[in-house]
């Protein structure tokens, strides 16, 4: 069952990786938390040996609270736990990277990420995750005149648009500017994501297939 600490599937870090962690004079190591599916950075917190051990044992991320001086499971109050998918260690051994599947917003403010202040410009890698969230929102709460909602309600039209846009990007590659190639490719990605959503298949499923083919 999703969210169960006993059944979560995750990669097990090697014993060498765990033994290579360098804790500071307080017995802590910083841990950057990154969304497994989207690559978005979600938060920064600290682990001690007990938090690291509990994280690896349960598959649910635990930290050491410096303000409360105690171990805490992220999401223990809100229910927005972080399921661990992979754990990485930096070159010096003094910082961890936890790749996770969050059960909900990570920030205590209700924001998806704790890094929601300052420049909110979207980086290229955020484009597809943002698109997926917009498509899901249009499907759940259609707005009048929404093109996305119209396509979601008409799979035949969505299929036709993917074929049409694929032909257009092919023509752009042959005869048009680099800018037009990028624009037409963006149209293909958008319409493909919507078409997959009509089947309930997220675009990330295709990305996971690409990753599997690298092996």
DSSP string, 141-200: S--TT-HHHHHHT-HHHHHHHHHHHHHHHHHHHHHS-HHHHHHHHHHHHHHHHHHHHHTT
* End-to-end CA, the chain: 28
Q: Are 112 and 42 in contact (CB under 8 A)?
A: yes
What pLDDT does residue 13 have? 67
Q: What is the pLDDT of residue 108?
A: 92
Task: State pTM to two decimals.
Answer: 0.78
Q: What are the chain's domains?
A: 15-102 (3.10.20.810), 124-214 (1.10.287.1080)
Task: Say what the pLDDT of residue 122 is.
Answer: 84
Cα-based angle 44, 85, 211 (whole degrees, multiple of 5): 115
Distance between CA atoms of residues 133 and 112, nearest Å: 11
Reduced DSSP (H G I as helix, E B as strand, rest coil) percent helix, strand, coil of the chain, to 5 = 40, 20, 40
Question: What pLDDT does residue 6 have?
Answer: 40
Structure tokens belonging to residue 213? 């083919």
At 3 the pLDDT is 41
DSSP-based three-state secondary structure for 39: coil
Residue 19's pLDDT is what? 87
Contact 99, 86 (CB under 8 A): yes
Q: What was the pLDDT predicted at 193?
A: 97
Q: Give which of 145, 99, 113, 128 is closest to 192, Cα–Cα.
A: 128
Distance from C-alpha of 181 to C-alpha of 78, rounded to nearest angstrom: 45
Contact between 99 and 79 under an 8 Å Cβ cutoff? The reply is no
Tens-digit pLDDT string for the chain (215 aa): 334 444 445 556 666 788 899 999 999 999 999 999 999 999 999 999 999 999 999 999 999 999 999 999 999 999 999 999 999 999 999 999 999 999 999 999 999 999 999 988 888 889 999 999 999 999 999 999 999 999 999 999 999 999 999 999 999 999 999 999 999 999 999 999 999 999 999 999 999 999 899 86
């Amino acid at each position: 069952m999703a969210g169960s600490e006993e059944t979560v599937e995750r990669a097990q870090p090697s014993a060498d990786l765990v033994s290579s962690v360098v804790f500071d004079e307080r017995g802590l190591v910083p841990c950057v938390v990154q969304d497994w599916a989207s690559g978005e950075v979600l938060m920064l917190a600290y682990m001690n040996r007990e938090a690291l051990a509990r994280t690896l044992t349960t598959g649910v991320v635990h930290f050491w609270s410096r303000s409360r001086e105690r171990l805490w499971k992220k999401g223990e109050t809100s229910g927005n736990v972080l399921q661990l998918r992979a754990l990485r260690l930096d070159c010096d051994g003094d910082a961890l990277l936890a790749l996770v599947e969050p059960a909900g917003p990570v920030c205590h403010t209700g924001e998806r990420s704790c890094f929601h202040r300052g420049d909110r410009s979207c980086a290229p890698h955020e484009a597809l995750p943002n698109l997926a969230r917009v498509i899901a929102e249009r499907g759940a709460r259609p707005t009048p005149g929404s093109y996305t909602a119209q396509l979601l309600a008409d799979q035949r039209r969505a299929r036709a648009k993917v074929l049409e846009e694929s032909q257009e990007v092919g023509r752009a590659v042959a005869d048009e500017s680099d800018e037009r190639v990028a624009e037409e490719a963006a149209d293909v990605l958008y319409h493909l994501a919507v078409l997959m959503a009509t089947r309930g298949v997220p675009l990330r499923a295709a990305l996971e297939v690409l990753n599997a083919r690298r092996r």
